[in-house]
Amino acid sequence: QVQFVESGGGLVQPGGSLGLSCAASGINFSILTMGWYRQAPGKQRELVATITSGGSTNYADSQKGRFTISRDIVKKTVYLQMNSLKPEDTAVYYCHPIGTRDSWGQGTQVTVSS
C-alpha cells in the first residue's frame, strides 16, 4: 500500500525556519523523482521543490535560496528545510512522486504568522 506521512509543520514567526519530513512506503522510492507541494486556502496545489533519484534539485522561483530539499534513500524519506519563512508560505505541505497517480498523504500544516 502506497503511503506518504508528512510531519514537522507548525506555527512559526516570519523569518523563522521549519524542517519537514515525509516518510514514503509502498513505492520504489530510489528511482522516483520526489516533490514537495503546498496548498494554501482557496488556492490550487503548487509544486515547491523536486529532487531526482540522483539528487538533482529544482525549486520554484519564490523558494530559491530559502528552501532546501533532500532525501534519504535508505530511510525512504524526503525532507524540506525552509528558512526565512514568509506569511505567504502558509499552506498545507505534501510530498508526492512526480508523474504518478499514487494517493496523497494528509500533509502537514505550516503557518507563518506573528
Give tens-digit pLDDT for 29-82. 988 999 999 999 999 999 999 999 999 999 999 888 999 999 999 999 999 999
Q: Is residue 78 classed as helix, strand or coil in its secondary structure?
A: strand
Q: What is the pLDDT of residue 60?
A: 92
For the chain, what is the mean pLDDT?
95
How far apart (Å, rounded) are the C-alpha atoms in residues 66 and 59? Answer: 10
Q: What is the pLDDT of residue 64?
A: 87
Q: Is residue 20 classed as helix, strand or coil in its secondary structure?
A: strand
Q: What is the pLDDT of residue 93?
A: 98
Mean pLDDT of 85-96: 97
Q: What is the pLDDT of residue 30?
A: 87
State the maximum Cα–Cα separation within the chain, in Å, rounded to a whole number: 40
